[in-house]
Amino acid sequence: MRLHLSTWQEVETYLQTSKAILIPIGSTEQHGPNGLIGTDALCPEIIGGLAAESGLLMAPTFNIGVAQHHMEFPGSMTLRPSTFIATMVDWVDSLAKHGFTHFYWLNGHGGNIATINAGFAEIYASRSLDTGNGRTPIRCKLRNWWQGKETYEKCKALYGKAHGAHATPSEVAVTQFAYPDHIKTAPLSPEIAPSGGYTDARDYRARFPDGRIGSNPALATPEDGELLAKLAAKEVTADFERFAAEQ
């Protein structure tokens, strides 16, 4: 069930049996020569969408992330961390007003993790400091789409050391499965991109000139993407149900 494809009456009915919602959260940023700019937002949306077929409610995708380090590549977009946190707070407050209490953030971008956790701290602080005690207690959870045990093991088995850290074959494969008309090919040299750290966008581009980190996304296939997306959706659905039952 998807929030933006539902009516208010359907949401009202859903709230009678569940107060939990899945929010895909990602980024709009370069993903190397054969990866789509939307990859990090598309992956949690695709996997969340499969999970939502079980009946859980999925929010619209929070699709601009913390991606300052990609800003030397055309098409990349970023929020400042402070804007990102403020936006998370407004999304949660909007949904909490209607009675949602459990917010399951399904993330697709490693660069979001620190700021999502800071967002949770802000959300909890605003409740802890509310002297009116008028706000319903809520719970937030962060889950990266690739972190389920079976999904993680499958990524390792499929790609080994060519998996890398950015523009990975697994995430490119998931988008190829969902968007077969948008599969890109490009020469990749070296085959496996360099690895390492970075600071700002200029530093990133100097170290990782084609945008990839440690990966060989030419290994991606839509068939593997289907397998990974369905595996991740199965693990996410089970994890969401556990979370929704937490008091």
Site residues, Ni ion (CB under 5 A):
40, 171
Closest approach of Ni ion to the CB of residue 231, in Å? 18
Strand partners, 24: 106
Alpha helices of the chain — where are they, by DSSP H?
A: 8-17, 39-52, 81-97, 113-128, 149-159, 169-178, 201-207, 222-244
User: Smallest distance, Å, CB 166 to Ni ion?
Assistant: 6
Closer to Ni ion by CB, 14 or 214: give it. 214
> Min. distance of Cβ 15 from Ni ion in angstroms?
33
Nearest-angstrom CA–CA distance, 78 and 105: 18
Distance of closest approach, residue 133 Cβ to Ni ion, in angstroms: 41
The residue (of 171 and 235) whose beta carbon lies closer to Ni ion is 171
| Cα–Cα distance, 182 to 160 (Å, whole number) | 25
Tell me the residue nearest to Ni ion as measured from the CB: 40
For residue 83, the minimal CB distance to Ni ion (Å) is 20
Compare residues 89 and 165 and give the one whose CB is closer to Ni ion: 165
Residue 202 structure tokens? 């200029």
Contact yes or no for 56/15 (Cβ under 8 A): no
CB 172 within 8 A of CB 217: yes
Nearer to Ni ion, 29 or 235 (CB): 29
Do 57 and 13 form a contact (C-beta atoms < 8 A)? Answer: no
Q: What is the smallest separation between the CB atom of 178 and Ni ion, expressed in angstroms?
A: 15
Q: Provide, rounded to whole angstroms, the least separation between the CB of residue 172 and Ni ion.
A: 9
**Of all helices (H) and strands (E), which one includes residue 106?**
strand 102-107
Residue 49 or residue 108: which is nearer to Ni ion going by CB? 108
Closer to Ni ion by Cβ: residue 45 or 171: 171
Supply 58's token pair: 């999925």
Q: CB-wise, 27 or 237, nearer to Ni ion? A: 27
Closest listed residue to residue 145, CA positions, set 39, 15, 37: 39
Nearest-angstrom CA–CA distance, 81 and 42: 21
- What is the distance between the alpha carbons of residues 125 and 130, in angstroms, rounded to a whole number? 8
